[in-house]
Amino acid sequence: MNNPHSWLNKVNWDEHGLVPVITQDASSGRVLMFAFMNREALTRTVESGEAVYWSRSRRKIWHKGEQSGHVQMIREIRLDCDEDALLLRVDQIEGIACHTGRESCFFQRLDGLADGAPHWETVDAPVKDPKEIYR
């Protein structure tokens, strides 16, 4: 008999029972965010078809978009060669993944390399004011 959890056991969970997760917009290809899942979060993601993470800061299951409405619909889940990182390809509802109202959390770019003065520059504008998102 196949163990129904063998797909979950194939993931190399870390010493905290977590796996790092990269989330990418399936249409634009934009890397949206980086987060973690535990076994329950991955199971709920698969069952619901929407991204569910483990919030390390709040120490609880986090259904992405539960407050903002910016849910992520799962198109594909991939595992890497070491089986210790996941990639989600999603449809990002409203095209906003970041709590700052931006499409992607990766909105700071390392600039100034040519003049020897590296600094992080905010290069993406918010799509929506966060005050309109979290009321």
- Site residues (vs a copy of itself, CB under 8 A): 2, 6-7, 10, 20, 22, 24, 29, 31, 33-34, 46, 76-83, 85, 87, 98-100, 102, 105-110, 113, 117-120
Task: Find the shortest distance in angstroms from Cβ 61 to a copy of itself.
Answer: 19
**Residue 125, both tokens:** 């504008």
Bridge partner list, 77: 88
Task: Find the shortest distance in angstroms from Cβ 8 to a copy of itself.
Answer: 8
Contact 66, 55 (CB under 8 A): no
Task: Find the shortest distance in angstroms from Cβ 63 to a copy of itself.
Answer: 18
Tell me whether residue 25 is exposed, middle or buried, using C-beta atoms within 10 angstroms of its C-beta: 0 to 12, 13 to 18, 19 or more.
buried
Task: Find the shortest distance in angstroms from Cβ 120 to a copy of itself.
Answer: 6
Distance in angstroms (rounded) separating the CA atoms of residues 49 and 130: 26
Identity of the residue, 14 or 66, whose beta carbon is nearer to a copy of itself in the bound complex: 14
Identity of the residue, 61 or 105, whose beta carbon is nearer to a copy of itself in the bound complex: 105
